[in-house]
Amino acid sequence: MTPVFAKPGRQLAAASVLLMLLAGCGRDGQPAPPAAPVSAASAAASASSSTRQAKAAPKAIAFTPPPDSAIPDDDFGKQVELGRKIFLEPDKYAAAWVGNHLSCENCHLDAGRLANAAPMWGAWPMYPAYRSKNRHVNTFAERLQGCFRFSMNGKAPPAGDPVLVALESYAYWLSQGAPVGKALPGRGYPKLPRPAQAPDYARGETVFKRDCALCHGADGQGQRVAGRTVFPPLWGPGSFNWGAGMHQVNNAAGFIKANMPLGRGDTLSDQDAWDVAYFMDAHERPQDPRYEGSVQATRAKYHDTPQSLYGTVVNGTLLGQGTGTAR
Amino acid sequence: MKAAPWIAGLAGLLLAGAASAGTPDGATIARQGNGRGVAPCAACHNADGGGQPAAGFPRLAGLPSAYLLKQLDDFAHGTRRNATMQPVAAGLSQDERAALAAYYSKLPVPAMSTTPVTDPRQEALGERLATRGRWSHGLPGCGQCHGPGGVGVGGHFPPLAGQSAVYIANQLHAWQKGMRRNDPLQLMQAVAGKLDEADIAAVSAWYAAQPVAGGQQP
């Protein structure tokens, strides 16, 4: 632990310590120090109005995936490394299958390693699994196909495609030592308690302008530099489509609460996270590829949940009409 | 609108007249100071705006105008503290600050020598922090905001490439000590608080070693 955490008055120290706990404390791959500063973590939990932190603060230290330097130097390791590259730059290494310039890492932080940012080690050991999204048992490969089709607004690589083989290898390798079938603390995004006030567009817009527009732009379209997406577009033709998990307000709220603004996760209030998630998800984005001929029919079949704004009217506009695509 | 060219011409003349009468000229202030006690910027930042790497005087040429203006304003208001720059910025009028920010943002990036990192372990640490961060400690990679290779992103995330190791390390220390607290959303204070001395040395050296295309138009 670096001494700066002990500095008085550093506002972020408590939150940082909590994040360290969730993420497993060690620097990449090194074992976490056993004497975890539990008092600091409970201070963070009580200092925050959120009850989630108190509930979610794991008793056991979250799983720590192996460091990149441990990728084996053999044929298997080559697939792991390729998977890591695809994960970071899918528009470069899996260009045939993506329809935008997002990166897996935009939602799965630290190349799929970070707790509470839907880490691969929290997902891989939980498949095959029944998913209500498509009402059958999905293999991990099918789950990956969903990412391409929805989050990447592209096409699903067929089973056995080299892109899937590499990504499966990477996720499997990151999960070395994780128990199969056990939901580890830090998997997925945190489930926030229901907000005191129903999520609200106008309040969300205020949060967006205050805490998000700096990076994602006042228009939410992100920023690209030197051919790379630095800050991803949050809606519009270059963003994930209406079929992606992030279009559901609860998923987005959990992600935002734990991870945004980048490097300052767990600083927004739960209410702010809900409101700004609602604001983001109340914008138009590319059509759900499962479109059933009408917005109403598509909502009835795939979006029949209060967490989806697809097919609802917000500020006088029917959402779910879709946009063009970015590429 | 047949009259349009004539009106535009007249407007141009009026604007040119206004410029010569009162609008400050960034180039002149940079070379000669403002005539009211503010020294020429070029004395420290060099005639080409490339700065003086060894002394830790930063490159200004090609930096975003909005960023430069904010820094001058913040020096004047004390949210960025520096014994040399605070009186300079306070001695400039708001118009002069704006003129200087615009002037330097349009200067081509000078050809600069880079300093290779000699210790491979330090280089690896610097590259890791710059490109990947240390998320086990909640630390993003520098490039996740400052762009690939530290080229800079928009008006809020200045380029790190083409700045010296001395300058970058000084700033990281300033964020840590609260001498600099003019960062939007406290992003840099949060980041700097997670770095130790070895980290600062490594990441500063890594960016100082990154190539900058000389003569590049911003």
CATH of residue A126? 1.10.760.10
What is the pLDDT confidence band of residue A61, given thresholds at 50, 70 and 90? low
% of chain A surpassing 90 pLDDT: 80
Q: What is the mean pLDDT of residues A116-128?
A: 98
Q: So what's the pLDDT on residue B113? A: 77
Do A225 and B147 meet the contact criterion of CB atoms below 8 Å apart? yes
Which of A214, A260, A276 to mutate against chain B (most B CBs within 10 Å)? A214
Position with higher pLDDT, B211 vs A194: A194
Q: Average pLDDT of chain A?
A: 86
Q: How far is CA B142 from CA A247, B139, B199, in A?
A: 28, 9, 12
Give the pLDDT band of residue A324 (cuts 50, 70, 90).
Answer: confident
* CA–CA distances in Å: residue A11 to residues A211, B138, B161: 17, 14, 30
Contacts of B181 in chain A (CB under 8 A): none
What pLDDT is attached to residue A52?
35
Q: Is the pLDDT of residue B33 over 60?
A: yes
CA B34 to chain centre: 20
Residue A54 lies in a domain: yes
CA distance B206 to A97: 35
Q: How many CB atoms lie within 10 A of CB A318?
A: 13
Q: Kindly identify which residue of chain A lies nearest to residue B152, measuring between CA atoms.
A: A225
The structural domains of chain B, with segments of one domain joined by +, span 26-106, 120-208
Q: Which of A149, A174, A199 is the last residue in one of the domains?
A: A174
Q: Indicate the pLDDT class of residue A1, thresholds 50, 70 and 90.
A: very low
In a domain, A183, yes or no: no
With tokens 């928009």, the residue in question is: B154
Q: Read off the pLDDT band of A6 (50, 70, 90).
A: very low
Query: What pLDDT was estimated at residue A325?
Result: 77
Smallest Cα distance from A98 to chain B, Å = 21
**pLDDT average, residue stretch A50-63:** 49
The pLDDT of residue B203 is 98
For residue A13, is pLDDT > 50?
no
Q: Judging by beta carbons within 10 Å of its beta carbon (0-12, 13-18, 19+), is residue A203 exposed, middle or buried?
A: middle
Q: Tell me the pLDDT of chain B averaged across its residues.
A: 89
Query: Looking at the structure, do residues A231 and A161 belong to the same domain, yes or no?
Result: no
Which pLDDT score, from 0 to 100, does residue A9 have? 36
Look at A3 and B29; give whichever has higher pLDDT. Answer: B29
∠ at Cα B216 (B215, B217), nearest 5°?
115
A179 belongs to a structural domain: no
Query: Do both A200 and A323 map to the same domain?
Result: yes
Query: Which residues contact residue B158 at a Cβ distance below 8 angstroms, ignoring those fewer than 6 apart?
Result: B63, B64, B67, B146, B152
pLDDT at position B214 is: 52
Number of structural domains in chain A: 3
Q: How many CB pairs under 8 A join A and B?
A: 94
Residue A60 scores a pLDDT above 70: no
pLDDT at A40 over 70: no
Among A28-37, A254-263, A285-294, name the one with the lowest average pLDDT. A28-37
The answer to whether domain B26-106 and domain B120-208 are alike in fold is yes
**Ranges A20-29, A312-321, B72-81: which has the least confidence:** A20-29
Task: Please answer yes or no on whether A23 and B140 come within 8 Å at the CB atom.
Answer: no
> Higher pLDDT residue, A31 or B134?
B134
CATH architecture entry for B26-106: Orthogonal Bundle (1.10)
Query: Which CATH number is B120-208's, of 1.10.4190.10, 1.20.1730.10, 1.10.760.10, 3.90.180.10?
Result: 1.10.760.10
pLDDT digits (tens, 9 = 90+) for A77-105: 999 999 999 999 999 999 999 999 999 99
Residue B175 pLDDT exceeds 60 = yes
Query: What SS3 class is residue B3?
Result: coil
If asked whether residues A7 and A25 sit together in one domain, one would say yes
Q: What is the mean pLDDT of residues A226-249?
A: 97
Q: For residue A184, is it within any domain?
A: no
End of a domain among A133, A148, A174? A174
Answer with the one of A124, A147, A174 that is the final residue of a domain. Answer: A174
Confidence (pLDDT) at B114: 83
What pTM value is reported for the model? 0.84
Q: Which residues pair with A231 in a beta bridge?
A: A223
Q: Which of A21, A84, A225 to mutate to test the interface with B (most CBs of B within 10 A)?
A: A225
Residue B213: pLDDT band with limits 50, 70, 90: low
Does A211 touch chain B if contact means CB atoms closer than 8 Å? yes
- Would you say residue A181 lies in a domain? no
In a domain, residue A185? The reply is: no
pLDDT greater than 50 at residue A48? no
Q: Is A141 on the interface with B (CB under 8 A)?
A: no
Whether A209 contacts chain B with CB within 8 A: no
Query: Domain limits at A9?
Result: 1-61
Q: Is residue A16's pLDDT more than 70?
A: no
